[in-house]
Structure 1
Amino acid sequence: METICKIHVPGKMTLGLEFPLDNDWSLAGEQKRQQQGRPFGIPDVSRHAEYIRLADTLGFSALWMREVPVYDPAFGDGAQLFDTIAYLGYIAGITRNIVIGTAAIVLPLHNPLQLAKAIATVENLSEGRLLFGVGLGDRPVEFPLFGYDFESRRERFVTNHSILLEAWKDQSQLSKFYPGLNDAIQVYPKPTASISWIVAGKAGQDMDWIAQNMQGWFNYPRTVAETAQMVIGWKNALYDNNQASKPYITAFHLNLLVDDDAPFVPHRFGGSSGVKALLILLQQYEEAGVNHLALHLRKSETPLAEAIRKIGEQALPLFPTPTL
């Protein structure tokens, strides 16, 4: 069974968590950050292994992480601090069931052959629990640092996608992209199964290309009503391109309040809520057509271990991870 099936049941919604597993954007987290002297957007990852194992044990379907190669104070966001691919390998070793996904690797920033080897390595080490989310990149400062042109990143995205697909074939012919190369040259390891590609945003591509070439669409956080419209557009693109059902994925920035009875109050990219109102909101996202929702807890008033456990115990029975 493809890895995508571990988060996708048509007509249903599964739940994941988005890194970093810290509440450094909450009031308490901000105070701790200042006391520890960390720059804004650099999380405290000292308890990350505990939280990762807890999410795996409770039955969350996926853990998602972004790629931020260099910290830019203008953006003020260091993501999960650790290198994305190296961190995926570590997580693969301390978990057993949860899917590990990238949302997203900045595809045009990478040498495609090095990336093909690294991603296939994680896929092997995780025993097929990898979802490969890719994006275009929106931080101009990064591209010249890696020797690439920012303006040509859309074309590089498509080219690198094609090179990785070729490199992962059992008998790849890399001479298609590197003229004169002996086709005996191979990139190992090969994936143990077909790797599912997820695109974050549109990556500068049209919806027809995305529907044809990606196995899922990770779209930006929006209100329920806005999300419902985006889902319709995704389903139409799949229908127009003769594609089977593919998941619509999104995130939600959740400030889980200590008061379980607190009503939902929206804010940018999400909202504040007690757990009871959260359950109602999650049901609304499922009804809107979301297949997988990743909760981002950097603003959580509730400490992380308690927040993860509370969501796991009260929400996961309503939005269970498929049993394979």
Structure 2
Amino acid sequence: MRRATGRKSIRPVALPFAERGVRFRASFDYIERMWDASPAFENIHGCPDGDMDMLPKPAGGKLLLITGASQEAPDWIARHGAGWINDPRPASVQAKIVADWRARVEAVGGAAKPAMQSLSVDLTDDPDMPPQPIHLGFRSGVLHLRAYLKELGSIGVNHVVLNLRFNHADIETTIHRLAAEVLPDFSV
């Protein structure tokens, strides 16, 4: 027998997948407005009346990076995003995407914004191991990883987020290897 707690249980609501773009824009708008002092507005996520605040406020200005397209037009992303994070693709394809991103940012009158990419990595002990595909990335030796990252830099990718979720080696060991064997090639 369960004891009554006096609280209603909260059940997840199945939201229509086709409306995710509308929810994304409303969420984006909500976060941007909550960064203002004493925010007062109304949208589908609530109606703050100026009596509450979201902390901490961004120290260096508003910064919302957009991942993927979120059902938005490329011009909307160029206008509203502080940068754009894409999934990994072959460098030749990514080069076209980055060039298009830069052209769209310029066309909407924006200042230069970073182009970024995520990359799942499973770093092997064999530095010469060629890449083998894994989800959103590859398993390889350090030589291929360095070469790929340099190629991304040459096509205009500003930042790469390395995801070690699928890494088979000890994470701390892998982080030390990345610091010693990869990062020195990218110091500024």
Shorter chain as denominator, the TM-score bin is: 0.7 to 0.9
Matched positions, count? 174
Unaligned 5+ segments in structure 1 are 1-143
- Counterpart in the other structure of 1:186: 52
1:217 aligns with 2:84: yes
Q: Which of the pair has more CA radius of gyration?
A: 2
Aligned to 1:311: 178
Structure 1 stretches of 4+ moved >6 Å: none
1:230 paired with 2:97, answer yes
Tell me if 1:241 matches 2:108.
yes
Deviation at 1:309, TM superposition (A): 0.7
What's the C-alpha RMSD, in Å, of the aligned pairs? 2.4
- Equivalent position of 1:166 in the other structure: 33
Is 1:198 the counterpart of 2:65? The answer is yes
Secondary structure of residue in 2 paired with 1:232: helix
Query: Which runs of 5 or more residues in structure 2 are unaligned?
Result: 1-10
User: What CA distance in whole angstroms lies between the structure 1 residues aligned with 2:171 and 2:179?
Assistant: 12
Instruction: Provide the identity percentage.
Output: 25
1:300 aligns with 2:167: yes
- Give the letter for the 1:191 counterpart: K
Correspondence list, 1:2-17, <5 A: none
Answer yes or no: is the 8 Å Cα contact 1:167–1:186 preserved in 2.
no
Asked which structure has the greater RCO (Cα within 8 Å, sep 6+), the reply is 1
The amino acid across from 1:258 in the alignment is D
Structure 1 segment 128-167 matched on structure 2, within 5 A: 145-146=12-13, 148-167=15-34
In the alignment, is the contact (CA less than 8 A) between 1:251 and 1:293 conserved in 2? Answer: yes
SS across alignment from 2:64: strand
Q: Deviations over 1:169-208 (max 9, x none)?
A: 113222x448xx7844232435142241011110000011
Query: What's the CA shift string for 1:68-126, capped at 9, x where partnerless?
Result: xxxxxxxxxxxxxxxxxxxxxxxxxxxxxxxxxxxxxxxxxxxxxxxxxxxxxxxxxxx
What TM-score does the superposition give when structure 2 sets the normalisation length?
Answer: 0.80
Instruction: Trace 1:1-324 onto structure 2 (pairs within 5 A).
Output: 145-146=12-13, 148-174=15-41, 176-177=42-43, 183-189=49-55, 191-193=57-59, 194-262=61-129, 264-268=130-134, 269-320=136-187
Distance (Å, rounded) in 1 between the aligned partners of 2:167 and 2:38: 48
- Is 2:131–2:141's contact at 8 Å kept on the other side of the alignment? no
SS in 1 for 2:186: coil
- Residues 281 and 153 (structure 1 numbering): CA distance in 2 closer, same or farther, change over 3 Å? closer
Shift of residue 243 of structure 1? 1.0
Residues 297-306 or 229-238, more deviating: 297-306
